[in-house]
Structure 1
Amino acid sequence: MTLDNSATNSTPRSHLGKFLRAELLPILTDLRLAIVLLLAIAFFSASGTVIEQGQSIEFYKANYPTDPALFGFLSWKVILTIGLDHVYRTWWFLSLLILFATSLTACSFTRQLPALKAARNWKLYDQPRQFQKLALSAELDNASLSSLTQLLQQKRYRVFQGEQDNLYARKGIAGRIGPIIVHIGIVIILAGAIWGAMTGFVAQEMVPSGESFQIRNIIDAGPLAAPQIPKDLALKVNRFWIDYTPTGSIDQFYSDISALDRQGQEVKRKTIFVNQPFRYRGVTFYQTDWGIAAIRIRFNNSPTLQLPMAALNTNGNGRLWGTWIPTKTDLSEGVSLLAKDLQGTLLIYDAKGQLVDTLRAGMATTVNGVTLRIVEVVGSTGLQIKADPGIPIVYAGFGLLMLGVVMSYVSHSQIWALEKDGHFYVGGRTNRAQVAFEREMLEILDQLTQKQEIKL
């Protein structure tokens, strides 16, 4: 009894390899798939820009109600179910990036690298009929390979001389390398985006002026972001202030921030404002909001006291902060104080809701038999804190992408020549800039003819 060796040698691994090459690889390298993936990535990236990311459920309920739903279907339930509130970290968006990167990589190995290899493996022509296949060719009666070689070298061609009175010349091999560099750049960009989504985080902090803080309030983070969050990073808001226009509206708000070492010593300091962030140890601090943190007051000749102020619900009618100030030690009596900004008038109301007085910082009034002096309104700065370790990778990918695009514009030009039976054959082709190549070829032929006439 004999065994069928072909059956025994057929392993699951070989079947898998054949399936990948015959079935999966043509799909991955299909240009239509790449276009569909690119459009899908662009669409969902745009949706992540339009739809606010990382907000609370209440925010989405208020801005994307179910009745009426935006466009008839986009409600807060759809947004939270699909993950449109954190598009760039959803499994399906990351899958699109990985699939697109895989498609580009497969295309590079199956098309771009073989094309580069074919361009580097030159071949000499030894038969006149071979020149008939070229886009541009000519037959001369009097010419020489040595004269043509000099002309080609002057035009920066690399010349390869054959043993049968023939030659091959080329230039612009970078034009064949360019598309590969473009693909590598895009893959690196996608890798950087994936790494940033997995390891980056976003935090928000509301810090009173003069206070120190650490990053605690994380509102969005990737699954691998924990090691990236600096636990020992301490910062201090030295001062927060607002510049107002002559009409009383806010012109700009500023935060003077210092980074501190473990001993509390300042190691870096910067004043930030909108679109001018503070960067330290891979973390970026943006000025995004402001508020009123506290009010500093004095009763008669007492030391300065600081009372916190809270934001009040105005149903969308501006911003307002308030606090209750006791005027007796047993807290049996007191007044309410309201403020809408750091420089405006402070309103004082009694227990019956009647307006008692209006003050500004530095002024005093008498309420319930005591002198109440407003020392300072303490502002708080709203900081958005971001870290994206994938940004340097993305920048490197963009650099390669731009380099590859420039290289892709370089024409890959090839010229062949053959001297046989008293005839001189020359021809060439290029992959782009056809008109410029034709002019160059005609110039070479004219100079070659002129040289032969001078010799004769």
Structure 2
Amino acid sequence: MTPAPFLQYWWRRSLSLLGDLRLAILLLLIIALASIAGTVIEQGQPLSFYQTNYPENPALFGFLSWRVLLAIGLDHVYRTAWYLTLLVLFGASLVACTVTRQVPALKSAQRWQYYCEPRQFGKLALSTTVPHGSLRTLAAALSQNGYRVWYTDNQLYARKGIAGRIGPIVVHASMILILLGGILGSLTGFMAQELVPSGSTFHIQHLIQAGPLAHLPENWSVKVNRFWIDYTPAGDIDQFYSDLSVLDATGTEVKRGTIHVNQPLKYAGVTLYQADWSIAAVRFRLNQSPVLQLPMAQLNTEGKGRLWGTWIPTKPDLSAGISLIARDLQGTVLIYGADGEFLTSLRQGMSTQINNVTLTLTELVGSTGLQIKSDPGIPLFYAGFAFLMAGVIMSYVSHSQVWGLFTEETLYVGGRTNRAQLAFEQELVAIAAALQTQAPPQTAER
């Protein structure tokens, strides 16, 4: 066998194998099971999380321990090589099925020929005869019912619903777009988290997960102009906001917006979500000093609420000081002495005398917690789902064909359709009945 026929043979064999419906169903089932695992098992958690929740003894289901889970990549299912390979194979199966089945079916639907013998009508699902019927009247009736009609002096062909043959191809194309979107997002997308004090500028650095081809933006940064929280009359958090500015490499503002939960800021394919908040620092004065600033750290309360604290020295040699505790950004702090006793509370803008020092609370500085995502595959997802809906609707359109032949003073009419058989029969019977009533008693108009 020469190389060219040999390659053609294996090319056809490969297309036949990939286009096999059983293979496509098997791949789809495996992808579904893997996606379920990626939904049930927490993704992107630290090693300690999996060691705690998936111990080796006893292992989940007798075998699923943290070692097995990490070895096969169930902690990041959607970015593993085997999952992406499944997507590629399923996409190749869809392409092969489209090329070997759907496209030929569409070409076959577009090819047609006139019927020349009455016996040909006997092979159709529905056929009838109209003595002295008019071919021209049949053409007009079919046109009124949405058919595209071709006819000669004694032959006719009509069809409608070619979109029904295009629909499956559109569905396959939409699924391929969705798969490409998933692959592109897994390879080039990333997710990061940043906790930024109000008034600070930052570059995206703290990645949680990223594809092997992900690229962090380096030519722009984000400034947190202001972060604030709205509280309810009962003192609970109503909403928290961040006023953000996107700055180019020269520091010029190119976009600005205020974000809150469910209202992100988008720029250059990157979306910044309002996700969390914290207290970053406290600003204060001691006696007549300039405004000083000390960071505040979140305290371990064992799940009994969120508290932040810091220690402020009241003597130059740091031999004495006080502790400040805050629970929110409403401007009130609690002050404790060196031995842990409660001394007093202080509101923002007010002063108190402690250890012979006048302490003035200037401001509590908040930090905004941002979740930052980039997924270049999202436009392909949207396009794919749009095409999928269009393709499903098109697939429900019936592809109907009608033939006509006038010979020996008799009009033969027959047709077939790929779905909605009853509606097609009713339509054709109504047309035939109309032809019967309009047929002249002796001669027929050709």
Matched, 1:44 2:31: no
Query: CA offset at residue 43 of structure 1?
Result: 3.4
Residues 348-367 of structure 1 show CA distances to partners (whole Å, capped at 9, x for unaligned) of 22332332323232333332
Match of 1:239 in 2: 226
State the Cα distance separating 1:159 from its structure 2 match: 1.9
Q: What CA distance in whole angstroms lies between the structure 1 residues aligned with 2:309 and 2:441?
A: 100
Instruction: Tell me the C-alpha RMSD between the 2 structures.
Output: 2.2
Q: 1:51 Cα deviation (Å)?
A: 3.4
Give the CA deviation at 1:44: 2.8
- Paired residue type of 1:154: Q
- Aligned letter for 2:309? G
Counterparts in 2 of 1:281 and 1:431: CA distance versus 1, 3 Å: same
Query: Partner residue of 1:4?
Result: none
- Report 1:164-313 matches (<5 A): 165-226=154-215, 229-313=216-300
Q: CA deviation at 1:186?
A: 0.9
415, 419, 424: which one aligns with 1:437: 424
CA gap of 1:211–1:330, structure 2 versus 1, over 3 A, is same
Distance 1:225 1:183, change over 3 A: same
Work out the CA distance in 1 between the residues paired with 2:434 and 2:349: 91
CA distance in structure 2 between the partners assigned to 1:387 and 1:243 by the alignment: 29
Gap runs ≥5 in structure 2: none
Counterparts of 2:26 and 2:74, CA distance in 1:
20
1:393 aligns with 2:380: yes
Determine helix, strand or coil for the equivalent of 1:126.
coil
Shift of 1:62: 4.3
Deviation of the 1:407 alpha carbon: 1.4
Alignment CA distance shift 1:109-1:258 (3 Å): same
Equivalent position SS for 2:439:
helix
8 Å CA contact 2:399, 2:419 repeated in 1:
yes
Alpha-carbon distance between aligned partners in 1 of 2:66 and 2:306, rounded to the nearest angstrom: 26
Q: Structure 1 stretches of 5 or more lacking a match?
A: 1-8
SS across alignment from 1:315: coil
Moved more, 343-352 or 436-445: 343-352
Question: What is the TM-score with the length of structure 2 in the denominator?
Answer: 0.92
2:94 corresponds in structure 1 to 104
Which residue does the alignment assign to 1:341?
328
Deviations 1:114-136, CA, capped at 9 Å, x for gaps: 11111111022222222112111
Amino acid at match of 1:111: R
- Take 2:37 and 2:309, find their aligned partners in 1: how far apart are those partners? 38
Letter in 1 for 2:392: V
Q: Does 1:424 align with 2:411?
A: yes
Match of 1:408 in 2: 395
SS of alignment partner, residue 156 of structure 2: strand
Match of 2:24 among 30, 34, 56: 34
| Conserved? CA contact 1:124–1:162, under 8 Å | no
Distance 2:305 2:63 in 1: 31
Q: Distance in 1 between matches of 2:308 and 2:54?
A: 27
Paired residue for 1:131, among 77, 96, 121?
121
1:29/1:70 CA distance change after superposition, 3 Å: same
C-alpha distance 59-366 of structure 1, shift in aligned 2 (>3 A): farther
Q: For this pair of structures, how many residues does the alignment match?
A: 443
Change (3 A) 1:74 1:294: farther
Which region of structure 1 is more displaced relative to structure 2, 355-364 or 320-329?
A: 355-364
The one-letter amino acid of 2:308's match is W
Letter in 2 for 1:272: I
Distance 1:391 1:336, change over 3 A: same
CA contact (8 A) 1:240 1:256 kept: yes
**One-letter code of the match for 1:167?**
L
- Equivalent position SS for 1:432: coil
- Residues 82-91 or 24-33, more deviating: 24-33
Once residues 374 and 80 of structure 1 are traced to their aligned partners in structure 2, the CA distance between those partners, rounded to angstroms, is 49
- Identity within the alignment, %: 61
**1:18 aligns to 2:3 (yes or no):** no
State whether structure 2 residue 81 is matched by structure 1 residue 94: no
Alignment deviations for residues 311-357 of structure 1 (CA, whole Å, 9 cap, x no partner): 22233332222212111222222222222222274232233233232
Deviation at 1:384, TM superposition (A): 0.5
* 2:145 is equivalent to residue 158 of structure 1: no
What is the distance in 1 between the residues matched to 2:441 and 2:351?
Answer: 106
Q: 2:313 aligns with which of 320, 323, 326?
A: 326
Counterpart of 2:75 in 1: which secondary structure? helix
Q: Matched residue of 2:261: which SS?
A: coil
**Alpha-carbon distance change, 59 to 246 in structure 1, aligned in 2, over 3 angstroms:** farther
Measure how far apart 1:253 and its partner are.
1.2
Is the 2:331–2:364 contact (alpha carbons within 8 Å) kept by the matching residues of 1?
no
User: What is the DSSP-based 3-state SS (H/G/I as helix, E as strand, rest coil) of the residue aligned with 2:234?
Assistant: coil
CA distance in 2, matches of 1:359, 1:71: 56
Query: Aligned partners of 1:454 and 1:205: how far apart in 2?
Result: 88
CA contact (8 A) 2:16 2:100 kept: no
Q: Which amino acid aligns with 2:411?
A: F
List structure 1 runs of 4+ shifted beyond 6 angstroms: none
Q: Helix, strand or coil for the counterpart of 1:411?
A: coil
Tell me which residue corresponds to 1:447.
434
Closer, same or farther: CA 191–70 of 1 in aligned 2, 3 Å: same
In 2, Cα distance between the equivalents of 1:60 and 1:428?
64
Return the offset for 1:158. 1.8
The 2-side partners of 1:69 and 1:376 are apart by: 51
Is the contact between residue 215 and residue 233 of structure 1 (CA under 8 Å) also seen in structure 2? no
185-194 or 73-82, which deviates more: 73-82
Q: Distance in 1 between matches of 2:99 and 2:209?
A: 37
